[in-house]
Structure 1
Amino acid sequence: MNKQIIVNLPVRDLEKSRAFFAALGFSFDPRFSSDSAAFMVIVEGGIHAMLMTEAFFQSLIDKPLVRAKEANEVIICLSCESREEVDSLIARAVAAGGRTPHPPEDHGFMYDQGFEDLDGHLWNLVWSAPQP
């Protein structure tokens, strides 16, 4: 079995979050989804997120739940294949109800911009020029 990354994220409204990420082009695997969680496929065979209702997420931890709209613990960073992919995903995130906390940054060899999802989780999208 190859290694995978599965990021677990608490969400207030599971169906709204599913719709938001579906608008970005991500899919969901019903085999690992339920009324309290949705298994989101970001990159087939490797990168996933488990969107969990806050109640279900809270049942798995013994500390207070961080409200991402109030404080952040992580920024999820995804590499993109092109600057256009970064811009396209940002545009879809904003159209689906997300927001951009800062303008794009163009460093010539690297281009990035982030978005905040419906629950305040920060996602950064980055493209880097191929190395010679």
Structure 2
Amino acid sequence: MPRTIFINLPVADLAKSKAFYEAIGFTHNPQFSDEVSACMVLTDVIHVMLLTHGKWQTFTHRPIAPSTSSEVMLALSCGSRDDVDAMNDAAAENGGTADVNAKQDYGFMYNRNLADPDGHVWEAMWMDMSAAPAAT
């Protein structure tokens, strides 16, 4: 069995967050969801667990970071530059924020950062490894 990542995120509005993640390409897995959590699947090995604040606080007593802070930036590869732009556009159209950091275009690599409704930052990125600079 391949190693799987479950990214746990605290969310203020579970239904809104679930709709947001569906809009940017995730699918809902009801098997691991209930009224206080939703499992959102991107690939066979990448899952995001959306947890209400109450549920989150059963796992840790550490405070939830405010939506204006920078806790982590999670990078997701996309198939093309157009896919990067489409994910960023879908974020803005579904309760998130597009381009929370400056767009970066290095020719061989292109990325745009978006935030979900709770301020969690995702980097949609595309890279052409054949055009990447050689290691030094």
Equivalent position of 2:134 in the other structure:
none
Q: What amino acid is aligned across from residue 30 of structure 2 in structure 1?
A: P
Equivalent-residue separation in structure 1 for 2:42 and 2:9 (angstroms): 14
Q: Calculate the TM-score normalised by the size of structure 1.
A: 0.93
1:85 paired residue number: 83
**Partner SS state of residue 131, structure 1:** helix
Once the two structures are superposed, the pairs formed by residues 1-132 of structure 1 within 5 Å of their partners are 1-43=1-43, 45-67=44-66, 69-100=67-98, 101-131=100-130
RMSD over aligned Cα atoms: 1.2
Unaligned runs of 5+ in 1: none
Alignment-mate amino acid for residue 25 of structure 1: G
Q: Structure 2: where are the runs of 5+ without partners?
A: 132-136
State the shift of 1:105 in Å. 1.4
Cα separation, 2, equivalents of 1:80 and 1:94: 17
When normalised by structure 2's length, the TM-score is 0.90
Runs of 4+ in 1 over 2 A off after TM superposition: none
Secondary structure of the residue that 1:9 maps to in structure 2? Answer: strand
Range with bigger deviation, 5-14 or 100-109: 100-109
Q: Give the 3-state SS of the residue equivalent to 1:42 in structure 2.
A: strand
